[in-house]
Amino acid sequence: MTIKADKSQKGSKQAPAGKRGGNKKGDPCEFINPPNLLLAKVTHDPSLKHVRNLTESKFKPDTARLQKMTTLITENEKKCISALNKKINQIEPVYRDLQKGLLPDRAPFVAECKDIHGAAKALDHIPVIRITASLLRYLQANITDGARDPAVFAAHLDALFNRNALDVKLDAPTKLVLTALETLVDHAVATKT
Amino acid sequence: MSSTDYDLSVLTAMFVDDSPYMRKLIHDLLILMGLGKVITAADGEAALKLYKEQVPDLLITDASMKPMDGYELVRRIRMDADNPNPFVPIIMLSGHVEMANIEKARDQGVTEYLAKPVSAQSLMTRVISVIERPRQFVKVGPYFGPDRRRHTDDVFFGDDKRGSDGDQTVQNADDADTWAI
C-alpha cells in the first residue's frame, strides 16, 4: 500500500522526538524504550540498563548445563509416553461399557481425559491433543447426562486407541478424522444445548 | 561472576500451561538454567492473579488453555491499568505454529514465539535474547506491546530529497517490514 505524501510540507522537517514519520497520516504512534532492567540485574551493573541491543552476546552457555537440560527433556518425553499409553489403556473399560450403552461417570472421566490431554501436550502429540480437547468439550458442555450420546464418546475413544495410525504432523487423512470428530461434537452440542 | 556470565539466579520467571507435565518440565529446565525462582500456573486467570502479586521478570505461556487462554493473558498483561509491569518480556511456547496463530500472538503483544517441542538450546536462546535485546515498545491505536517490526533497515524515515514536483509516494512502513515474530 502506498500513501501520497503531503505536498504542502516542503523542505526538511524532523519527526517529533520519540516518533517516527511524525507527519504521516494514520494513528499516532508512540515509541517507548523501557530501561533494560533484566540486563542490569543479571550483570549487577545498573549502568547497563540503558543498553538496548547487545551486538555481541556476553553469555556463554555452560555445555554441562545444556546437556543436563537435554537429558531432562529426553527423560520427560519417555515418562510422558509411558503415562499417555498407561492412561489410554485405563479407559478401555469405559469403551467396553459404551458398547453396552453405558455412559461413564462424568467427573472421573473428565479427570482421566485431562490427564491424557496434559501428557499429549507435553509430547506435542497434536492428534491426541485435538481428540481429547474435543472430548472434553463434549463432556463439559451444558448437556444433561441422559442426553449424551454414547456414539460420540465411542468415536473419540476409537480414535485414541488407534492413535498410532494418525500422523503427528497431520497428514490429510489425520486431518479428516480430527475434523470429523470436532464437527460431531459441534453438532451434538448445538442440537442438545 | 565472570564477565562472560550472567547471574540468572536473581531472576524470577513464571510459566503458564494447563499440562502438569509441561509445568514440571519447564520449571525444572529453568531452574537448571540457573533462574532463581519459577512460579507456575495452570491457566490465564490464575496466572494473571499471581502475576500481579509476584511481578516476575519473565513470563512464558502456552497458547491454548481454559478458561483464559494465553492470548487473552498476554493482552491483559499489556493492557490492564492496574498491572505493575506491562513491559515484561513474554515468550509464547506453543505447538500451534500456523502463521495465523503466530500473528495472533504478535498482535496481542508477545515478545518471542517458541515452537514445541522445546529444546534446551532454543529455550536458553530465547531467554537470553529477551535479556540482551529487549524490544522497543509501541503504542498505536488499540495496540500496546513490543514493536512488531524487527527489521527497519529498509524503511526510510528521513526527508525526501528528490524535489517536490510530481506525485511523490512514500512506502507505508507497515508494508515494507518483515514482521517481528
- Return the C-alpha cell found at A55: 551486538
Of residues A112, A8, A71, the one with CA closest to residue B168: A8
Helix spans in A91-143 (H): 92-99, 106-123, 126-140
- Return the C-alpha cell found at A54: 547487545
Q: What is the mean pLDDT of residues A47-67?
A: 84
Closest Cα in chain B to A43 = B6
Q: How many CA atoms lie within 13 A of A75 on its CB side?
A: 11
- Return the C-alpha cell found at A143: 448437556
Q: What is the mean pLDDT of residues A82-86?
A: 93
- Whether the per-residue pLDDT at B161 is higher than 80: the answer is no
Confidence of residue A26 (pLDDT cuts 50, 70, 90): low
Q: Is the ipTM of this complex over 0.95?
A: no
Of residues B47, B55, B95, the one with CA closest to residue B72: B47
- Name residues 27-46 of chain A within 8 A of B (Cβ): 27-34, 36-39, 41-44
- Return the C-alpha cell found at B73: 493473558
Confidence of residue A178 (pLDDT cuts 50, 70, 90): very high
Query: What is d(CA B170, CA B156) in angstroms, rounded to the nearest whole number?
Result: 9
Best A56, A58, A112 member to test B by mutation, with max B CBs in 10 Å, is A58
Best B7, B19, B167 member to test A by mutation, with max A CBs in 10 Å, is B19
Each domain of chain A, given as residue ranges in start order, spans 77-192
Q: What is the mean pLDDT of residues A111-128?
A: 92
Cβ contact A131:A159 at 8 Å = yes
- pLDDT at position A14 is 55
Each domain of chain B, given as residue ranges in start order, spans 8-146
CB-based contact, B157 to chain A, within 8 Å: yes
Query: What is d(CA B75, CA B130) in angstroms, rounded to the nearest whole number?
Result: 19
Topology of domain B8-146, CATH: Rossmann fold (3.40.50)
Residues B67-99 have pLDDT tens digits of: 899 999 999 999 998 889 999 999 999 887 788
- pLDDT at position B91 is 96
- The one-letter amino acid at A91: I
- Whether the per-residue pLDDT at A100 is higher than 50: the answer is yes
